[in-house]
Amino acid sequence: MADPTASTVEHKVTFCRICEPLCGMIATVEDGRLTALRPDKDHPLSSGFACQKGIAFTEVVNDPDRVTAPLRRTPTGFEEVSWDEALGDIAGRLSAVLAAHGPGAVGWYMGNPGAFSYAHVLSALGFIKGLGRGSHFYTASSQDTNSRLMASQLLYGTPTSVPIPDLTRTDLLIVMGANPVVSHGSFLTAPRIKDRMHDIVKRGGRVVVIDPRRTETAAMFEWCGIVPDTDSLLLLSLLQVLFAEGLADVDHLAASADGVEWLRAQVQRFTPESTAATTGIDADVVRGLARDLASTPRAAIYGRLGTCVGRYGTLTSYLIDVVNLVAGNLDRPGGSVFGGLGLPAEQWVNTAMGAVLRRTYRRRRSRIGGVPALIGSEPAALMAKEILTPGQRQIRALFISAGNPVLSVPNGDELESALGSLELSVALDFYLTETTAQCDYVLPVTTMYERDDFPLTFQLFQATPFRQATEAVVAPVGQSRPESQIVGELIGRLSGRVPAFTALTAMGTVMSRVGVGVTARRFADGIIRVAGGGDRFGLRRGGLTFDRLTREHPHGKILDPHLGTGRLRRVIGYPNRRIQLRHNAIAEQIATLSGQQYPADYPLRMIGMRETRSENSWMHNAPLLMRGERGHHGLMNADDAAELGVEDGAHVQVTSPYGQITVPVKLTKDLTAGVVALPHGWGHKGTGGWQLANKAGGANVNQLTSSDPADVEPLSGMAWLTGVPVRVEPV
């Protein structure tokens, strides 16, 4: 007879969704509770690798500090309320705001983890856009990728065509402003990315890292130090050499791009000798790199966060692609190539989408600062001012899901106090953070292991074309609910008051309870089915569906050993299917490059720094990751420190024109002179409910960054997060 006290233990195949490689995981579930996570040896790409954060996620799921019931703020702290009460009050107050001020008074900020849940993205977007014209939508991408997307919009006519390095075939990888050994790769889904880079060297190739810091990646390969925020000049010099030395791939250029002569004229004056003093890179090194890029048949430059968040993010990203193009490495095996979903009629999809997105970009501007709205989202750096500045479209109600903008967006203090002035603020999160603790309601959401998933956002960036989907491995903890369900209930309650929602509910799409989740899943299933490898709704026998992926290919399925090339015409969104090099906006940016001045009393430059055991702001409450009394500290060049009388481990005051923090610094030789590296995501000052994180504390580096509209990158709305002028003083 079965022992009724015996526990059931299951091992469920799934994958991690903290960062972009999406490593395979095996979840141990005992009596319905997640008790352990270990790397999946049978995952075809991550093959037994997972990092410490992935393993530590059990502690997040079961965190005693986790919010597992709806919370309402009262003058004396948060109180638990029922879902019905919370949603009823939110819907009522939102309706009042809408009735009095219209959709322009409502905003939604979706943070980074949102991008890892297809249902979250689709429901948040559907909700805020469904409210009507004028509503405000923000994502973490204005602190992360918008400049990269903008460069694609200019070059290829659509922000969604973003090339990635053909990692598995390249023989020369130039990594600019990325630290994949710590970040595990970004805008690039490549499990075991460190091994993949070592493979390049093993097959006789090279990896060169251009970075102000000799990072964990640079230390393993070749390092070329650069002065922060000067990459555009380096890239212009690479182009100057490629043209001047006759190394440009003129046939490829003529066949695929318009504006080549214009480009040649733009770069002419940027000889390596003329830029060396500003970039800190010798002319010989630049010439060598240009020659290697042109003569190595399989070579690629790859830029990421460090090249996106300077004052010239769009220009730098644009120039990275242009160097790849001119050196003959764009859309070629081992070069910089375009992933894709393998949709039928791909080029028509891109043309149509490009036309719509370019039109939105031309027409929609932020109320404050007049910055164009790339991919329909506004610059989060301006969110506080949108809340605080009276007038039409002033934000009075704000939803924040999967984000901690008080720590992640420039001028955290300004945003924190702005949140307090809202008529309604609602967070969808499982922690009380520096941000969510300022909200009227905190609605508890499921973690990634409590929901099904298909990583829709990351399909385009896979170094090896691959599909994996998962079902939830445990039931929602406590009263938590998936975001899509919460949104569905709100839509149901707003029906009759918001026209689009009334239509949706009337159409028979049951937009209450699980309705939105089901609709989103149908959409994801539809994408899987029409995309490469899909069953094309029955036309292709044995092809993939969402269900078939989870049931028959739980460890995922490689679709192709390599990315496709020769795809340029299909990924371009311009009707003439050619790359457009010539843009007045680019010429204007190039013209301002040499004239940049820094205020004299801020002689140093601040850069960011990601840490192996952090994920932005939100994994500082997991004991496994905080072992060894971990805390916040910056890095300083040892010679700079000696000059200022700063000792190793000492606390220093860092001051920028925008704010001031105090932080301990370690001294290092592995940093370009004049540079201070400060990790973001710290500054847990006790307002949140994560006790271990609060104990670790730290400073909010985004007190040093600017939320002035004049400091937002004008083409893409990107926040300016690197190369910020600072002064350091011992305390």
Ligand X SMILES: Nc1nc2c(c(=O)[nH]1)N[C@H]1C(S)=C(S)[C@@H](COP(=O)(O)OP(=O)(O)OC[C@H]3O[C@@H](n4cnc5c(=O)[nH]c(N)nc54)[C@H](O)[C@@H]3O)O[C@H]1N2
Residue whose CB is less far from ligand X, 405 or 517: 405
178 binds, among ligand SF4, Mo ion, ligand X, none (CB under 5 to 8 A by kind): ligand X
Taking contact as CB under 6 A, which single stretch among the options 277-285, 350-358, 363-371, 603-611 is the one that binds ligand X?
603-611
Residue 615, interface with Mo ion (CB under 5 A)?
no
Write the binding mask 198 to 237 for Mo ion: x where contact by CB under 5 A, - elsewhere.
----------------------------------------
Residue 147, interface with ligand X (CB under 6 A)?
no
Taking contact as CB under 6 A, which single stretch among the options 34-42, 107-115, 382-390, 510-518 is the one that binds ligand X?
107-115
Residue whose CB is less far from Mo ion, 19 or 427: 19
Residue 324, interface with ligand X (CB under 6 A)?
no
Residue whose CB is less far from ligand SF4, 51 or 510: 51
Taking contact as CB under 6 A, which single stretch among the options 82-90, 286-294, 424-432, 555-563 is the one that binds ligand X?
424-432
Of all residues in the shown chain, the one whose CB is closest to ligand SF4 is 54
Taking contact as CB under 6 A, which single stretch among the options 90-98, 277-285, 398-406, 534-542 is the one that binds ligand X?
398-406
Those residues with Cβ within 8 angstroms of residue 255's Cβ, 6 or more apart along the chain or in another chain: none
**For residues 149 and 190, what is the distance between their CA atoms, to the nearest angstrom?**
20
Tokens representing residue 422 in the block:
């809202």
- Count the site residues for ligand X by CB under 6 A: 64
Residue whose CB is less far from ligand X, 240 or 279: 279
Residue whose CB is less far from ligand X, 275 or 307: 307
Helix/strand/coil for 639:
helix
The answer to whether the CB of 469 falls within 8 A of the CB of 549 is: yes
Residue whose CB is less far from ligand X, 353 or 514: 514
Residue 442, interface with ligand X (CB under 6 A)?
no
Sign of CA dihedral 522, 525, 531, 534: negative
Taking contact as CB under 6 A, which single stretch among the options 222-230, 470-478, 503-511, 523-531 is the one that binds ligand X?
222-230
Taking contact as CB under 6 A, which single stretch among the options 110-118, 291-299, 458-466, 656-664 is the one that binds ligand X?
110-118
Residue 177, interface with ligand X (CB under 6 A)?
yes
**For residues 702 and 658, what is the distance between their CA atoms, to the nearest angstrom?**
9
Residue whose CB is less far from ligand X, 350 or 703: 703
40 binds, among ligand SF4, ligand X, Mo ion, none (CB under 5 to 8 A by kind): none
- Count the site residues for Mo ion by CB under 5 A: 1
Tokens representing residue 176 in the block:
């600019």
Sign of CA dihedral 412, 418, 420, 423: negative
Smallest distance from ligand SF4 to CB 375, Å: 24
Residue whose CB is less far from ligand SF4, 408 or 616: 616
Residue whose CB is less far from ligand X, 140 or 663: 140
Those residues with Cβ within 8 angstroms of residue 629's Cβ, 6 or more apart along the chain or in another chain: none
Q: Which helix (H) or strand (E) holds 425?
A: strand 424-429
DSSP letter for each residue of 34-65:
EEEEEE-TT-TTTTT---HHHHHHHHHHT-TT
Of all residues in the shown chain, the one whose CB is closest to ligand X is 306
- Torsion angle in degrees (nearest 10) through CA of 358, 361, 362, 368: 180
Residue whose CB is less far from ligand SF4, 54 or 130: 54
**For residues 620 and 631, what is the distance between their CA atoms, to the nearest angstrom?**
9
Smallest distance from ligand X to CB 701, Å: 5
Residues paired with 300 in a beta bridge: 173
Smallest distance from ligand SF4 to CB 18, Å: 4
- Torsion angle in degrees (nearest 10) through CA of 200, 203, 205, 211: 20
Those residues with Cβ within 8 angstroms of residue 708's Cβ, 6 or more apart along the chain or in another chain: 658
Residue whose CB is less far from ligand SF4, 458 or 546: 458
Residue 672, interface with ligand X (CB under 6 A)?
no
The answer to whether the CB of 335 falls within 8 A of the CB of 170 is: yes
Smallest distance from Mo ion to CB 181, Å: 17
Residue whose CB is less far from ligand SF4, 58 or 519: 58
Tokens representing residue 4 in the block:
């009724």
401 binds, among ligand SF4, ligand X, Mo ion, none (CB under 5 to 8 A by kind): ligand X
The answer to whether the CB of 39 falls within 8 A of the CB of 48 is: yes
Taking contact as CB under 6 A, which single stretch among the options 341-349, 369-377, 445-453, 471-479 is the one that binds ligand X?
445-453
Residue whose CB is less far from ligand X, 405 or 455: 405
The answer to whether the CB of 192 falls within 8 A of the CB of 49 is: yes
Backbone dihedral region for residue 246 (phi beyond 0: left; psi -120 to 50: alpha; all else: beta)? left
Total Cβ atoms within 10 A of residue 279: 24
Residue 275, interface with ligand X (CB under 6 A)?
no
Tokens representing residue 521 in the block:
């899943």
Question: Where in 590-703 does DSSP place strands (E)?
Answer: 604-607, 634-637, 651-656, 659-668, 675-677
DSSP letter for each residue of 205-273:
-EEEEE-SB--HHHHHSEEE---TT-HHHHHHHHHHHHHHTT-S-HHHHHHHEE-HHHHHHHHTT--HH
Pick out residues in 128-167 that bind Mo ion (CB under 5 A): 144
Smallest distance from ligand SF4 to CB 45, Å: 11
Residue 607, interface with ligand X (CB under 6 A)?
yes
Taking contact as CB under 6 A, which single stretch among the options 95-103, 284-292, 441-449, 645-653 is the one that binds ligand X?
441-449
Residue 176, interface with ligand X (CB under 6 A)?
yes
Residue whose CB is less far from ligand SF4, 55 or 371: 55
Q: Select the residue interacting with ligand X from 205, 334, 335, 723 (CB under 6 A).
A: 723
**For residues 503 and 95, what is the distance between their CA atoms, to the nearest angstrom?**
17
Q: Select the residue interacting with ligand X from 229, 378, 416, 452 (CB under 6 A).
A: 229
**For residues 680 and 616, what is the distance between their CA atoms, to the nearest angstrom?**
7
Question: What is the greatest pairwise CA distance in the chain?
Answer: 86
Q: Phi and psi of 616, rounded to 5°?
A: 45, -120
Those residues with Cβ within 8 angstroms of residue 390's Cβ, 6 or more apart along the chain or in another chain: none
Q: Select the residue interacting with ligand X from 125, 140, 477, 636 (CB under 6 A).
A: 140
Looking at residue 712, its amino acid is V
Q: Which residues bind ligand SF4 (CB under 6 A)?
A: 16, 18-19, 21-23, 50-51, 53-54, 184
The answer to whether the CB of 633 falls within 8 A of the CB of 648 is: no
Residue 431, interface with ligand X (CB under 6 A)?
yes
Looking at residue 47, its amino acid is S
List of residues contacting ligand X (CB under 6 A): 19, 111-113, 117, 140, 143-144, 176-180, 182-184, 186, 210-213, 215, 226, 228-229, 231, 304-307, 310, 401-405, 408, 428-431, 433, 445, 447-448, 483, 607-608, 610-612, 614-618, 680-681, 701-702, 705, 721-723
Task: Point out which residues bind Mo ion (CB under 5 A).
Answer: 144
